[in-house]
Chain A
Amino acid sequence: MIEAAAYCVAALLALAALGVGVARYGPGRSTIYAASALVCVALMWIGIASLGADAARMKLPLGLPWIGVNFRLDALAAAFLALVGLGGASASVYAIGYGRHESEPGRVVPFVPAFLAGMTLVVLADDAFAFLFAWELMSLSSWALVMAHHREEGNAHAAYVYLIMAVFSGLTLLLAFGLLAGPQGSSPGGFTFAAFRASPLPPATVAIVFVLAMIGTGSKAGLVPLHVWLPLAHPAAPSHVSALMSGVMTKVAIYGFIRIVFDLLGTPSWWSAVVVLVVGGVTSVMGVLYALMEHDLKRLLAYHTVENIGIIFIGLGLAMAFWANGLAAGAALALTAALFHVFNHSVFKSLLFFGSGAVLTATGERDMEHLGGLIHRMPKTAFAFLVGCVAISALPPLNGFVSEWLTFQAIVLHPDLPQWGLKVAIPADGALLALSAALAAACFVKAFGVSFLGRPRTTQAAQAREVDAFSLASMFTLAAICLLAGVLPGAVIDALAPVTQALVGAHMPTQMDRAWLSIVPIAEARSSYDGLLIFFFIAVSAWATALAVHRFASHRLRRGPAWDCGFPDPSPATQYTAGSFAQPIRRVFGTVVFGSRETVTMPPPGDTAPARIEKHIHDPAWETFYAPVAAAVGGTADWMNVLQFLTIRRYLAFVFVALIMLLLVLALWQ
C-alpha cells in the first residue's frame, strides 16, 4: 500500500514537471488536472483502505545518506492521506473547468501537483528530515501559487507575509525536531520518528518541544495570533488553490501537531491541554468576529478557516486533557470529534471556496457589496453554496453539526477531570464554542443572503452566468458528501476508530450497528443523535408545510402591488448590505475587540454636501504582535543602513577589527 502511495507522489511530481511544458495549451492543462484528480482518487482510496491496516514502513535511499527518506503509513497518516486525496481530487476536477479562465496558467498549473505532492509527503514522512523537506515543499509551492497573480494589488504583500510566516513555522519545527532528537541525534537513524518515540525526554524539554510544535504547526494552521497570513494569502491564490490551502493544507498542519504532540511526545501534561484549549477558544471566536467584519467573500471564508481551526484545537485540547488524566474514553471521544471536524471542514470549506470561485468567474467580483441576486442567474451554484453554508453553520442534518455536537459531548464530560485549570478552561471553551457557532451562522446568513439573494447591485452581478459542468460536478459531489457524513456520521466515527486507538489507546463504541443509524457517543442514557431521522423529519415537515400552504390556502386571486421589502426606492443600492448586517454585531463586540469607532459628519444646515459616516477598525493581533516587530526590524534596518555608505578603508577596518576581536576571544578563552 505504502509503495502505491509513493508511486502516487512520484506521479504528482512528474505531473508538476510536465505541467511546466504544457501549461500554455488548454488541453494540456485539462489533462494535467484530470491526471492529478485520478492520482488523488488513488491516494484517497489508499488512505481509506489502510485505515484499519497495520503500519507499513518504507525507506528510500534518497536524501541524507545516514538517514535516507523514511515513510510510514499508519492509521493517522492514512486518515489524512484520504483527506488530502479527497481535497486534491475535488480541487483538480474543479480546476478543469475553473482553470479555463486562468490568465497566467504557466504560474499555476505546474505548482498544483507539486503542492499536492508536498502535502502527501508531509503525511507520509517518518523522519524529521523528510517531514521538514515535505513541509517546505508544501510551503514554497503554495507560496508560488499565492504569487501567481502577482501584478494584482496586494498579492505580492500577501505572498511576502506568507513566506515570512512559512519560514518562521519551518524554523520552529526545525528546533522542535532538534530537541526531540536530543544527544542521540547524531547517531544513524537518530532523526527518525521511531527514535523520537523510543527516547524519553526530560519534562522541561517536552514543554519546549510542545510550545515550538504549537507555534510551528499553529502558524501554518492559522491559530490566533499567528493567523495574519491566512486571510491575505488564501484569497490571493486562484480559487481551487484557496480551497486546497484552506481545506487541506491547514489540516496537514493539524496533522503535524497531532503527530508531534500526540504521537512523538506521548502522554501530555494537563497544563499543555489548558494552553491548547485557551488558544483554540480564542481562535474560534476571534476568527468568526474577523469574518463578520469582512465583506470580501474569499477573505470571509479564510477567516472562517481560522474559526474552524480553533474548534478543531478545542477538540484536540479536550483530548489532551482527558488523556493526561487517563480517561481514555473521553480522550477518544474528543479526538474523534476533532478529526471528524477536520474532515468536515475540509469538505465544506473546499465547497465554499469553489462556490466563491464560481461567483468570481461569473461576475469578476469578490466584494459582497457588489453582488446580489445570483440565485436567479446561478441557481446550481447557489444551491451548492447554500449546502456549504448550512454545513459550516453547524445546522443539522449536515456534517458540521455532528462534529461540533461531539465536541460538546466531550465538553460535558469535564467534571471527571481533577485539575482546577481544566475545570475552569473547559466550560469557558464551551461558551466560546457556542458563541462562535452562533456567530458563524449569522455570518453565513450574511454571506449567502447578500451575495445570492436580493437584487443585483452591479451590472456584473446582473449579467452573471452559471459556471461550467466540471466546477458544478465538483461542488455537488462535496455537497453530497456533506449530507452523507451528516446523516451517516456513524460510518465516519467507526472509520476513525483505528486512529484514536493508535494515539490514545481507546476508541469510541462502534456506531454502525446501532438501530436506526443513530450515534451514541457515551451512553444511551446521556445523549444520542440520529441524523437520518432528523433529515427525514425536516424533509417530511417541509413537504407537509409546502403541501398545506399550497393545498389548503385560499385560492382566490388578489392582485396588489408587490411587496417592496421595505425599500420603495428602485435603486438596488438601497438594499440591506453586508455592512448593515454586520453593524449590530460590530457594535456589540467591535468596540472592545477591534476598537471600532463610527463617526458621523453632518453638513451644517443649508450646505448641500453629503453626510458622511466613517468606520475605523483596528486589527488587535496585527497591532499587538506584528507592528512592534515590524517597527523594530525597520528601525534596525535604518540604523544598519549607515553601513551601506562607509569608505573602503572602514569596511576593511571592520573586517580587521572583527578578526582581531575573534582572535582575542580565542586567546582569552583558552
Chain B
Amino acid sequence: MHGISFDIAHMLAGFLVLLSFLMLYQVRLLPLLHVLAAHAFVLALSVAWQAYIQHAPHLYITAAIALVFKAIIVPVALRRMVFRMGIHREIETVVSIGLTMLAGMALVALSLEVMLPLTAKAEPVVREDIALALSVVLIGLLMMVTRRNAVSQVVGFMSLENGINLAATGAQGMPLVVEISVAFSVLIAFIVIGIFLFRIRERFDTVDIGVLDEFRGGQR
C-alpha cells in the first residue's frame, strides 16, 4: 500500500496547500469563493482517500459532510450573500500580495520544520499530512489577519478549518463524533458570522472592518 496510495495522499494534501496560496493571491471576492469551494472539494477527496487507505468507513461520512457543507452549501450561501450585499465587484486592497505570498512560504517552511522532527516516530503518511495540514491552518490564519473584508475573513476561517480537518483525518483512530462536532461547530460559526455580516451592513452600510473600527474610535 505504500507506493501509490502514499503518493496520492501527499498529492492531495499538497494540492490543498497550493489552493491556500491561490486564496492568498486572489483579491476579488467571487473567484475567492470559487477557490474556497475547490479547497473544500479537494479536502473531501483527501478525506475519502484516507478512508479508503485506512479502511475506515466512517471517514466517508466526514468526506460527505465536507463535500456537501463546505464545498457546496457554504460557498453558495456566501455567494448569495455577496450578491445581496452588492459587493461582488469589489476588489480588496490587501497588504501586498507579494509580501503575503512570501510570508505564506515562510509559514510552510516553519510548519515543516516544526512537524517533521516532532512526528519522527509516527507513520510517514501521517507525518507529512500533519505538516501540510499545519501549513494550511497557518495560511488560513494569515489570510484572516491580512484581509479587511469580513467575507474574505470568513473564507480564511473556513480554509483554516479545512486544515484542521485534514490533520484530524490523517491521524488514525480519530472518532467520528469529533469530526461531526467540528463540522457542526463550523456550521454554527458560519451561520453566526453570516447573521452578523448582515447586521453589520444594516448598521454601517459596509462590511469593511476598517470602517467598523473607526466607529469605535472614541474609546481609544
Residue numbers of A with Cβ under 8 A of B are 645, 647-649, 652-653, 655-656, 659-660, 663-664, 666-667, 670
Contact = CB atoms under 8 A, between A and B. Distances in A.
Nearest to B106: A660
A652 B110 contact: no
Given A648-B212, A649-B209, A659-B138, 15 more contacts: A645-B220, A647-B210, A648-B209, A652-B141, A655-B141, A656-B142, A656-B144, A656-B145, A660-B107, A663-B114, A666-B118, A667-B110, A667-B114, A670-B117, A670-B118
B142 A666 contact: no
A466 B117 CA distance: 81
26 contacts: A645-B219, A645-B220, A647-B209, A647-B210, A647-B213, A648-B209, A648-B213, A649-B144, A649-B145, A649-B146, A649-B148, A649-B209, A652-B144, A656-B141, A656-B142, A656-B144, A656-B145, A660-B107, A660-B110, A660-B138, A664-B110, A666-B118, A667-B110, A667-B113, A670-B117, A670-B118
Nearest to B109: A667
Interface in B168-219: 209-210, 212-213, 216, 219
A659 B110 CA distance: 11
> Interface of chain A, helix or strand or loop or mixed?
helix
B46 interface: no
A652 B220 contact: no
Interface of B: 107, 110-111, 113-114, 117-118, 138, 141-142, 144-146, 148, 209-210, 212-213, 216, 219-220
Q: Which 4 A-B pairs have the closest CB atoms?
A: A647-B213, A667-B113, A667-B114, A653-B145
Nearest to B113: A667
A263 to B, nearest CB: 46
Point out which of B111, B210, B213, B216 has the most chain A C-beta atoms below 10 A from its C-beta.
B213
Contacts of A667: 110, 113-114
A648 B141 CA distance: 13
Contacts of B216: 645
B138 A666 contact: no
B118 A659 contact: no
B220 A663 contact: no
A379 to B, nearest CB: 63
Contacts of B107: 660
A486 to B, nearest CB: 66
A667 B142 CA distance: 19
Given A645-B219, A647-B213, A670-B118, A663 B142 contact: no
A653 B118 CA distance: 26
A663 B111 CA distance: 8
B94 to A, nearest CB: 12
A659 B145 CA distance: 13
A129 B218 CA distance: 49
A664 to B, nearest CB: 7
A656 B157 CA distance: 13
Contacts of A647: 209-210, 213
Nearest to B147: A649
A663 B108 CA distance: 12
A660 B117 CA distance: 17
A133 to B, nearest CB: 33
A653 B107 CA distance: 14
A670 B117 CA distance: 8
Contacts of B118: 666, 670
Contacts of A649: 144-146, 148, 209
A652 B147 CA distance: 11
Contacts of B142: 656
Nearest to B210: A647
A645 B146 CA distance: 19
Nearest to B146: A649
B145 A663 contact: no
Nearest to A670: B117
Nearest to A668: B113
Contact of A652 (B113, B145, B219): B145
A131 to B, nearest CB: 39
